[in-house]
Structure 1
Amino acid sequence: MQPKSSFTWKSIRNIFDQIHLYAGLISGLVVIAVCLSGTIYVYNTEIREFMDSELYFVEEGGQRMSADELKKSLESVNDANVVGVMWNEEANRTVQFTLKKKDEEGRGNTYFVNPYSGELVGNTADRTATAEFMGYMFSLHRWLLLDRIEEPILESMGNRDLGRFINGVATLLFLLGVITGIVIWVPNKVKSWKQGLKIKWSANWKRVNHDLHNTLAFYSLIFLFIMAATGPFWSYTWYREGWQKTWDIYQEPSPRAGNAEGPGRGPKPEKVDSEVPLPIVSLDEVFAKTNAELPYVGNIRVSLPSKASDPVGVSKYRTGFFARAGADQLTLSSSDLSVTEANLFSDLPFRQQIGRSVKSLHVGDIFGQFSKFLWFVACLIATSLPITGTLIWWNKRKKKPGKKKPVARKVAEMA
């Protein structure tokens, strides 16, 4: 007679087995699409730079022009204002300037500029084949390509919202599968943990498939959990707010300005005097100030004021193989470039660092190229899990009629 505790655990494990199975079967196809596109998109930047290298790399030739010289040249040629700069200090790299015309809607266009000659080598408005392909990968990962369908599928929501919703459901089911997989694996393998951490390649394909599912999932467990736990952040408002409140980074949304008075409507925004000239800001002085305040090697992104009262926004990102994610941000007065606010990532409490790193945790660049490679491998494994898991289930289904074999073996031994 089996002990009661053993029977209880067996029953509990069976429940978790069923949850694990059906969570995987229901979400399988979506998980494959999302994880495959995510595997590719981990190296989005590297793929773009390799395939469209002429936009990102230049030959070193003499002395680089100053940022202010490049800015002046671009504004005169394009009859537009520079509103943003991504400045790369590496000698063989282009620099990026975002220009926007006076009454232009949107964020403007970003131009790739040769810092030695001032030549425009391309801009984001000209979509390359690589940009189109990576755009499809991003669309598949976020909205399952439903945003590419012009006709609405449902009357109650747009195609993009529908894709986001389905993606979120599948990701939550995948997260449930990861959690139940831990519960199933650990007690079952703790006594024979060595066998549970290797693949028996000499066995038949069914055993190899079983080992691939269990062993690879175990090795990538922490990465799979992080990817699945951060994924719904972009699918559901309630999840995003829950994440922000959990890690103490939530801020109440500011009330939207309305056109009339009433409940939930704010005052009308003040009109901006378009005749007030924008402040003249020296980019070279901004870079000098930033490097003095943040003395480490990194790329600098600058947002220039769009009206006279706006400050200059600066973000600096570390570079290198083990570069930690998380930009340091400075707010500079547009009149004298004095620091009015400094938000350093290292000064944040640890829980807020986690909360603000949700994107880096999801895509894997939390520690530069080192962690990106780990996420790439883990995402590749995640793509395979629905396939190997479905094969395990299918093989067990085919086995069910043959349960009498052990009895026959016992009779033979007794004879």
Structure 2
Amino acid sequence: MSQKKTALGKFIGTLHLWLGLASGLVIIVIGLTGAIYVFTDEIKPLVYRDRLFIQPENKPKLPLSQLLAVAQEAVGPNRPVTRVEISSQPDRTYIFRALKVDKEGFSHWDYYKYYWRAYVNPYNGKVVKLEDSRNEFFNLVLGLHMRMLFGEKIGHAVVSYSVLAFVLILISGLVLWWPSKWSKSNVDKSFKIKWNAKWKRVNYDLHNVLGFYACVILLVCALTGLVWAFEWFETGVKTVADGGTLAKVPAVFSDTTQQKDAAAVDRIFSQLQADKPDAHGYLINFPVKGKLPLNTSTYLTASNRYDRIQGQYDQFTGAQLRSRSFGELTNGEQLYALNFDLHVGAWAGMPGKILTFFAGLICASLPVTGIVIWWGRRKKESKPRKGAKSPLASPKPAHRLSRTI
């Protein structure tokens, strides 16, 4: 990095250094876990074939209400099932989830009071796999990425402020990277890695050059992470997208005067399928509190999550309360719906995910190469320069003066 000799340049360099030292370990973990999590949807079908896939049968699938009862019995009566993921593919299980968190919990395992997934065969109603998802590999990766395997109070705060520091690190790094003069030699230093140089120079180039190439993607990842990290940031982003005034969308509620109808979920699911029979899949969230609606998402494609229809239904009667596609959302809601796909690169399909994967690896390498640069300069500055007088050396005797009487 071409550090400027101005006071501002020195301040930016100092800011870049100390923010990097303070957040470096967390950024390494976030980068590595983020790179892994980018391809979760592609890896899971390969490693979890035993629980995700079943042999299709030439008969109708069982009603969702019956499958829900099977899943509820499997996870236990004191752990309410809160959602189900349904794939349109005939050879996939239905994935029911029972989840409860304790935001006061200290560690990852205290944060989740329980987290179970029941994988159910929709043709015969048998539980293919009952999974304690607290210890499932990809959930541990996500727990590291979001909370460093701590609870909400400590882990979320540590990660959130580290990501905020990382945004400043990226911006200050770009300022320090900017060549003072756009000569050929400076351009080569800024855009090319000199692989045949000494290892210190290669390390410097890996930090300087790779940091520049990954900067835009990492900024997108960091800023979208801040949307989940801080409520004030989420509100600010939505407000800006809405033109300076946050658009208010009225809430809808279930009619608590009605009696619970177990078959309501069957009617809701049938309506979702009738509305979009060629959808990639469906997600249904079952409310815990009585007045809340039952929320649904109809995913139209496999490549992203933003292109979906969001619905709200009365949990007692199954009556539709509201249904909106992505194009019908407010600008702020659209940007928030895009947040996950922007974060993992899915908005650009597989090329975007690949670029985000490599950006995550570069992200994890930057604190390491940066510390090596800092340590090398620190050692260099601590050594006395050649020809410099040592402060401990005895002074040379002065020239003898003539004796005077």
Cα distance change of structure 1 residues 63 and 84 upon mapping to structure 2, 3 Å threshold: farther
Describe the SS at the equivalent of 1:366: helix
Cα distance change of structure 1 residues 143 and 250 upon mapping to structure 2, 3 Å threshold: farther
Alignment partners' CA distance in 2, 1:20 and 1:76:
55
Question: 1:233 touches 1:239 (CA, 8 Å); kept in 2?
Answer: yes
Alignment partners' CA distance in 1, 2:134 and 2:158:
30
Partner of 2:162: 170
Q: What residue identity is the alignment partner of 2:205? A: D
Partner of 1:278: 261
Match of 1:123 among 126, 130, 136: 130
1:89 lines up with 2:88 in the alignment: yes
Aligned residues: 361
Alignment partners' CA distance in 1, 2:21 and 2:197:
26
Partner of 1:22: 18
- Residue 89 of structure 1 and its aligned partner are, at CA, apart by 1.2
Describe the SS at the equivalent of 1:65: coil
Partner of 2:212: 218
Alignment partners' CA distance in 1, 2:51 and 2:182:
53
Alignment partners' CA distance in 2, 1:271 and 1:316:
23
- Residue 17 of structure 1 and its aligned partner are, at CA, apart by 1.9
Describe the SS at the equivalent of 1:302: strand
Cα distance change of structure 1 residues 272 and 188 upon mapping to structure 2, 3 Å threshold: same
Partner of 1:32: 28
- Residue 138 of structure 1 and its aligned partner are, at CA, apart by 2.7
Higher mean C-alpha deviation, range 344-353 or range 114-123: 344-353
- Residue 115 of structure 1 and its aligned partner are, at CA, apart by 3.0
Could you report, residue by residue, the CA deviation over 1:328-376 in whole angstroms, capped at 9, with x for unpaired residues?
2123567986754222112335554223333333344334544332222
- Residue 378 of structure 1 and its aligned partner are, at CA, apart by 0.8
| Aligned counterparts, 1:387-398, within 5 A | 387-398=368-379
Q: What residue identity is the alignment partner of 1:395? A: G
Question: 2:117 touches 2:133 (CA, 8 Å); kept in 1?
Answer: no
Higher mean C-alpha deviation, range 331-340 or range 234-243: 331-340
Describe the SS at the equivalent of 1:174: helix
Question: 2:283 touches 2:297 (CA, 8 Å); kept in 1?
Answer: yes
Q: Which runs of 5+ in 2 are unaligned?
A: 100-112, 388-405
Higher mean C-alpha deviation, range 227-236 or range 289-298: 289-298
Partner of 1:313: 295
- Residue 250 of structure 1 and its aligned partner are, at CA, apart by 5.3
Partner of 1:301: 283
Alignment partners' CA distance in 2, 1:77 and 1:367:
36
Q: What residue identity is the alignment partner of 2:125? A: G
| Aligned counterparts, 1:89-108, within 5 A | 89-97=88-96
Cα distance change of structure 1 residues 181 and 390 upon mapping to structure 2, 3 Å threshold: same
Describe the SS at the equivalent of 1:315: strand
1:289 lines up with 2:281 in the alignment: no
Q: What residue identity is the alignment partner of 2:10? A: N
- Residue 56 of structure 1 and its aligned partner are, at CA, apart by 0.7
% of aligned pairs identical?
A: 30
Q: What residue identity is the alignment partner of 2:175? A: V
Alignment partners' CA distance in 2, 1:296 and 1:97:
22
Match of 1:66 among 52, 61, 66: 61
- Residue 253 of structure 1 and its aligned partner are, at CA, apart by 12
What's the TM-score once normalised by structure 1's chain length?
0.72
Partner of 1:412: none
Describe the SS at the equivalent of 1:362: helix
Partner of 1:113: 120
Describe the SS at the equivalent of 2:347: coil
Q: What residue identity is the alignment partner of 1:318? A: L
Could you report, residue by residue, the CA deviation over 1:193-225 in whole angstroms, capped at 9, with x for unpaired residues?
354222111111111111111111111111111
Partner of 2:343: 362
Partner of 1:325: 306
Q: What residue identity is the alignment partner of 1:297? A: A
Alignment partners' CA distance in 2, 1:282 and 1:252:
29
